[in-house]
């Protein structure tokens, strides 16, 4: 008799394979026809909100100044959001380069962005995080996708800048997979995040529907869902490459993901009207599937550890009952590790995971073709395969807890010089 766990594994595996093939075929169909591109070079304002960013602010401004874009059409604004370090002083040095630098009391990222939007007259607004560095051709490639008045936002390809630590290497693979997934999502217009690192928007959208939500901990998610709610298009340009500084430690990474995922939960709840037939694929396929994937991962990971620990407890109790004696603590620890490995390879889901690993490899191949300079990507691949599922489930469990208990989530980032 087939147990409920086995049935569940087969169901999520089938849905996972169907989804992977669906996005693959959607992307293939997208590239099978000529893609429209605009040859116009509209006026652009790049907004760099900054709070305690003295470590990276100079390099970020240098990166914006180095963009291959007509200087007469490009405006750069740095908004110091009440920093307590030398961010404002360092940014002011660039006023001689034509950079507009402002300072204001601390009000959060959304507040800083709106402060600049109100002072800008450009057709395109680009939000740029103060720890981001961009390829010089990035902006030209992105504005070319504003080929239709329905396109309200364009996102780039994000990769990790100098992945050195264990945690950064795992993120490096995750971000590289995002190069494929972001393009696949945009091919059927189901994007639900416009990354704050370097996304471009039509200024007219803010004029008509208001600026960024100043009380939102993930304003980039909220604005993307608002664009989808008004039935506009979010495009993606995989050849537009930006580099971001990823958290180096587990604590930094947990803080970032707790904010991201808690913000996603709250924003999706606020825009729950996006679910359903009325909104097309994003309502009947993309968003429901995203949450099914999250809940399935949390369930399977929790089940694996609970079941394995329970079996291990019974196994050790049995060995103790027959007076089996481990030589030392190291011998016991090795036994436990071997037991966990045995349980992992014996679960049915592991066999399906091997197939999904092939898909992940194909996604990384797509990423490497569009973003060739990604050092150490495939060495981090194995770290990603073995650890990301566990980390993903843990981040979501913490985020669900924070959301359900209504705990305050704040932005905590520690900057490092590279």
DSSP output for 224-239 = HHHHHHTT-EEEEEEE
Sign of CA dihedral 96, 63, 161, 203: positive
Q: Are residues 222 and 360 in the same domain?
A: no
Residues 156 and 273 in one domain: yes
Residue-wise pLDDT for 134-176, tens only, equals 999 999 999 999 999 999 999 999 999 888 899 999 999 999 9
Same domain? 313 vs 164: no
Domain boundary among 258, 282, 306: 282
Residue 108 sits in which domain range? 37-282
Q: Are residues 270 and 295 in the same domain?
A: no
User: pLDDT above 70 covers what percent of the chain?
Assistant: 88
Confidence grade of residue 1 (pLDDT, cut at 50, 70, 90): very low
Q: What is the pLDDT of residues 90-118, one digit of tens each?
A: 999 999 999 999 999 999 999 999 999 99
The Cα–Cα gap between 113 and 39 comes to: 28
Residues 6+ apart with CB under 8 A from 45: 75, 76, 77, 116, 120, 122, 124, 125, 126, 203
- Which pLDDT band, with edges at 50, 70 and 90, does 28 fall under? confident
This prediction's pTM: 0.89
Give me the half-sphere count of Cα atoms (radius 13 Å) on the Cβ side of residue 144: 15
Q: What is the pLDDT of residues 352-393, one digit of tens each?
A: 677 778 888 888 888 888 887 777 777 788 888 888 988 999
What the block records as the tokens of 214 is: 């100043």
Give the chain's domain count: 2
pLDDT tens track for 60-84: 999 999 999 999 999 999 999 999 9
Helix (H, G, I), strand (E, B) or coil at 134: strand
318 membership: H or E segment, kind and range? helix 287-321
Q: Identify the pLDDT of residue 416.
A: 55
**234, 154 in Cβ contact below 8 A?**
yes
Q: What is the pLDDT of residues 312-340, one digit of tens each?
A: 677 667 666 766 665 665 566 666 666 66
Asked whether the CA dihedral 192, 197, 199, 203 is positive or negative, the reply is positive
For 185-311, strand residue ranges (E) read 198-202, 233-244
Per-residue model confidence (pLDDT) at position 417: 52
Say whether both 271 and 326 belong to one domain.
no
State whether 267 and 330 are in the same domain.
no
From 265, 282, 299, give the residue that closes a domain: 282
* Range 296-311 average pLDDT: 78
Residue 78 neighbours by CB distance under 10 Å: 30
CB 360 within 8 A of CB 377: no
């Amino acid at each position: 008799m087939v147990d409920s766990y086995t049935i569940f594994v087969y169901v999520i595996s089938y849905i996972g394979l169907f989804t992977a093939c669906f996005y693959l075929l959607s992307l293939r169909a997208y590239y099978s026809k000529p893609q429209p591109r605009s040859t116009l070079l509209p006026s652009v304002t790049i907004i760099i909100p900054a709070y305690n960013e003295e470590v990276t602010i100079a390099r970020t401004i240098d990166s914006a100044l180095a963009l291959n874009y007509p200087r007469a059409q490009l405006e750069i604004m740095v908004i110091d959001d009440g920093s307590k370090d030398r961010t404002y002083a360092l940014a002011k040095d660039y006023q001689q380069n034509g950079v507009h630098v402002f300072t204001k009391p601390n009000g959060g990222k959304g507040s800083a962005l709106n402060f600049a939007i109100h002072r800008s007259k450009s057709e395109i607004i680009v939000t740029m995080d103060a720890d981001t560095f961009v390829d010089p051709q990035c902006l030209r490639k992105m504005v070319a996708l504003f080929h239709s008045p329905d396109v309200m936002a364009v996102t780039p390809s994000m990769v990790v800048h100098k992945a050195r630590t264990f945690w950064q290497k795992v993120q490096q693979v995750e971000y590289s997979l995002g190069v494929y997934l972001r393009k696949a999502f945009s091919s059927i217009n189901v994007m639900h995040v416009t990354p704050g690192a370097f996304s471009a928007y039509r200024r007219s959208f803010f004029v008509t529907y208001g600026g960024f939500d100043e009380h939102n901990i993930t304003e980039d998610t909220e604005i993307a869902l608002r664009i989808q709610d008004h039935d506009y298009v979010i495009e993606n340009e995989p050849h537009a490459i930006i580099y971001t500084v990823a958290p180096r430690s587990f604590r930094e990474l947990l803080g970032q993901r707790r904010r991201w995922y808690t913000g996603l939960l709250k924003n999706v709840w606020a825009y729950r009207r996006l679910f359903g037939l009325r909104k097309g694929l994003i309502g009947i396929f993309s968003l429901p599937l995203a949450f099914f994937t999250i809940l399935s991962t949390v369930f399977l990971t929790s089940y694996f550890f609970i079941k394995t620990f329970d079996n291990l407890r019974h196994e050790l109790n049995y060995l103790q009952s027959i007076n089996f004696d481990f030589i030392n603590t190291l011998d016991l620890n090795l036994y436990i590790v071997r037991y966990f490995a045995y349980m992992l390879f014996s679960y049915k889901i592991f066999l399906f995971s091997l197939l999904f690993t092939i898909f992940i490899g194909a996604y990384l191949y797509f990423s490497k073709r569009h973003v060739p300079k990604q050092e150490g990507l495939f060495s981090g691949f194995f770290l990603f395969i073995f650890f990301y599922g566990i980390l993903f489930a843990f981040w979501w469990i913490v985020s669900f807890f924070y959301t359900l208990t209504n705990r305050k989530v704040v932005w905590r980032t520690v900057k490092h010089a590279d």
